[in-house]
Structure 1
């Protein structure tokens, strides 16, 4: 069995492609977006709608950059938390065993 680290190294790990929000409203809102997108396409016509899609693509790019930065920040925070916790382990063990003698 491969480790997570091996899969990451080999480019076989794509968490961004596997994430589906578990919020109860997610699917309903997604369907609503599809319906409204088609309504806007009908109202605006192909040329204006194409320009609107280009704008949405820009918004998606900015949002993706924000999500990536948030992921990196959260991962670093979690890793630093683990380092901090493990580096204080000996102190904790000493404090915990001090009351036993």
Structure 2
């Protein structure tokens, strides 16, 4: 079995491309966005709609940067939690050896 780090390095793990939120409002919001874009497409002239799409692209870029930062922050937070737990392992072992329940 290949290690997670090797798979990540080789580009075999791409969470940003495989994650689909399970929140119940996610898909209905996507459909609503699509419907609104269709309405704008039919009401705006070609140049104005192109500018609107550029605006959406800028918003998507900004959202991607934010999601990346949130991912990195969450990963670091999780790693620090592991460090904290592992650094206090002896507390757990000594409590278990003394007969105290954890």
Q: TM-score, normalised by structure 1?
A: 0.91
Distance apart, 1:53 and its partner CA: 0.8
CA distance in 1, matches of 2:71, 2:87: 24
Q: Structure 2: how far apart are the matches of 1:56 and 1:18?
A: 22
Equivalent residue runs for 1:90-101 within 5 Å: 90-99=90-99
Q: Which runs of 5+ in 2 are unaligned?
A: none
**Within-5 A mapping of 1:74-93:** 74-93=74-93
Secondary structure of 1:12's match? coil
Deviating 4+ runs (over 6 angstroms):
none
User: For residue 50 of structure 2, what is the aligned residue in structure 1?
Assistant: 50
1:6-54 CA-partner distances (Å, limit 9, x unpaired): 1012121111100001011211211111111010111111110100111
Higher relative contact order (CA 8 A, sep 6+): 1
